[in-house]
Amino acid sequence: MTFNTKQTGETIATLASEILRNPHASATAKSLAASALSQSSSTKETGKLMETLASHVMQSDKYSAATKSLAASVLSQSDKAR
């Protein structure tokens, strides 16, 4: 079994923190932010449900660039076997 050793970088972690503190941020953005932050200093991988959510965000035109950045980070840390 191979593990993804990527971690959330400082720029994305800062963005995620800002989104989590923003009362106007969407639930989708906050979910992605929480996932990205949980992977900032650990070897955790993105779960299947979060991977699916991030994929939908990347394929949609309705999300902001910030939300798409979080989604891209989350996807880059997904299980390589999936």
Is residue 28 one of the residues assigned to a domain? yes
Quote the CA–CA distance of 70 and 59 in Å, as a whole number: 13
Is residue 2 one of the residues assigned to a domain? no
The pLDDT tens digits for 22-52 are 999 999 999 999 999 998 877 788 889 999 9
Quote the CA–CA distance of 22 and 70 in Å, as a whole number: 15
pLDDT value of position 2: 58
Query: What range defines the domain where residue 58 resides?
Result: 10-76
Is residue 43 one of the residues assigned to a domain? yes
Domain count for the chain, please give it.
1
Three-state SS for 45-57 is: CECHHHHHHHHHH
**Average pLDDT of 66-75?**
96
